[in-house]
Chain A
Amino acid sequence: MKKLLRHALIGAFWIGVWWLAALAVGLPKLFPGPAETAQALLRLSQTAVFWRSVGMTLLRVALGYLCAVAAGILLAAGCYRIRGLDTLLSPLRTVIKATPVSSFILLVWLWLRRGTVPLFISFLMVLPIIWTSVQEALKAVDGDLKEMTAMYRFSWLQRLRYLYAPSVRPSLMAACMTGLGFAWKSGIAAEVIALTPDSVGKHLSDAKNYLEYPDLFAWTVTVIVLSMALEGLLKALAHRREGRK
């Protein structure tokens, strides 16, 4: 209860700062305050387009994210087991990490359908995070325990279940948490640039183009709330799993 109150007070403080800043600027059409934004959000949330856009954005980002988690784990395991594969693929990982997300969006925009661009971009941004973390965690698996499992002739499934998975889990969870933010932000950036139909990003872009700044703020608030909700959900799932063990 105390924690909830503390969070509410911190939230109220920053909303107050926003309100004061908007008051100081004095241009509600260009810098709307919390009240104008809330009004816009209420209006938008009463339309079917709003919920369809939110749903489709969530679906695209979630698909890209989940594919990246799965592919990242598989690539990490492959590179850990086969040194040649690591040598072959590590330049690819470096290139993905170093290339700006906007370059990728503009590149794939030419090749993919507009609805697929955000999914692919979310995938691409999360992949190296998961891949690197899991591979490093695999390298750090306790050598003494590996020797013990060899001595007692653990099957590969037993090694996976009782040695590798628990050893890697903390790094994987941390990477999943970091990756979620990346997936969300890069996915929406891709929607903005690719003007993906039925998407939060397209509405953000439209609001900017038509100088509908209260709507722009309302969509941004929606993005922030959804991002926090997804992060909370992932944390809750992780805690539930820890609790069950």
Chain B
Amino acid sequence: MIRLSHVYAGYPEKDVLRDVSIPFPERGAVALMAPSGFGKTTLLKVLAGLLPIQKGEISGLENKKIAFLFQEDRLLPWLTAEKNVEIVSGKDKAAHWLKEMEIEDAARLPHDMSGGMRRRVALARALSYEGEVLLLDEPFKGLDEALRERIAARVKNAAPLTVLSVHDPVEAALMDASIIRLDQLQGS
């Protein structure tokens, strides 16, 4: 089980997470909710191992393969959608997940795609990586309602544990996720 105990983390100019303790379930989805600035992205980066903690303890993440959908799409601009996904997972998985994300023309470069399409390519990359833990930072940004529902249905069972940050409780519901209110969790 992944557990955060009394974790402090942030940046030199600002502490973002203060005394945060969360036990995550073995399986399922957990949605982090809070107004902007309360550390949803910071917490995901801590879980991804991209941001070191200042105090506290994290357990249960050792040797776990983690896939991360960043808040920005972070696609390599000189590679096609197909290649952006292939590069982390190989041809077959890339083709499968691009299809699942309803990307019809995967030969396009990111700057020729709409914002929603780029988001789905970034999602396809994260999903095709087949992490044991899937971290999704605002996964449905830029998707219309109907597309959001279809995509959420395919994402929710893709990994044993999914942790996502959302602004809208509907998105948490679409993912059958239990909600953690990060703003109510932090120590003063």
Interface residues of chain A, those whose CB is within 8 Å of chain B, are 144-145, 147-148, 150-152, 154, 158, 162-163, 166, 245
**Chain A nearest CB: distance from B72 CB in Å?**
6
With A144-B74, A147-B50, A154-B87 known, 10 other A-B pairs at CB within 8 A are A147-B70, A147-B74, A151-B48, A151-B50, A151-B66, A152-B67, A162-B79, A162-B87, A166-B76, A245-B78
**Chain A nearest CB: distance from B133 CB in Å?**
12
Instruction: Report the Cα distance A166→B68, complex, angstroms.
Output: 23
Q: Does B180 count as interface, using CB distance less than 8 angstroms?
A: no
- Chain A CB within 10 Å, residue with most, of B67, B70, B88, B129: B88
Instruction: Report the Cα distance A154→B86, complex, angstroms.
Output: 12
Instruction: Report the Cα distance A166→B87, complex, angstroms.
Output: 15
Contacts of B66 in A (CB 8 A): 151
CB-nearest residue of chain B to A152: B88
The one of A144, A154, A162, A163 that contacts B72, using a Cβ cutoff of 8 Å: A144
- Also in contact, A152 and B76, with CB within 8 A (given A147-B50, A158-B87, A162-B87): no
CB-nearest residue of chain B to A151: B68
The majority secondary structure among interface residues of chain A is: helix
**Chain A nearest CB: distance from B135 CB in Å?**
9
Contacts of A162 in B (CB 8 A): 76, 79, 87
10 closest A-B pairs by beta carbon, nearest first, are: A148-B74, A166-B78, A152-B88, A151-B68, A144-B74, A162-B76, A144-B72, A145-B74, A147-B50, A151-B48
Instruction: Report the Cα distance A10→B118, complex, angstroms.
Output: 47
Contacts of A150 in B (CB 8 A): 50
Interface string of B131-154 (1 = CB under 8 A from A): 000000000000000000000000
Contacts of B78 in A (CB 8 A): 166, 245
Instruction: Report the Cα distance A152→B88, complex, angstroms.
Output: 6
**Chain B nearest CB: distance from A212 CB in Å?**
53
CB-nearest residue of chain B to A158: B87
Q: Is the CB of A152 within 8 A of B129?
A: yes
**Chain B nearest CB: distance from A168 CB in Å?**
12
- Chain A CB within 10 Å, residue with most, of B67, B72, B76: B76
CB-nearest residue of chain B to A145: B74
- Also in contact, A145 and B76, with CB within 8 A (given A151-B68, A152-B129, A158-B87): yes
The B39-87 residues at the A interface (CB cut-off 8 A) are 48, 50, 66-68, 70, 72, 74, 76, 78-79, 87
| Interface pairs (16), CB distance under 8 Å | A144-B70, A144-B72, A144-B74, A145-B76, A147-B50, A151-B48, A151-B68, A152-B67, A152-B87, A154-B88, A158-B87, A162-B79, A162-B87, A166-B76, A166-B78, A245-B78
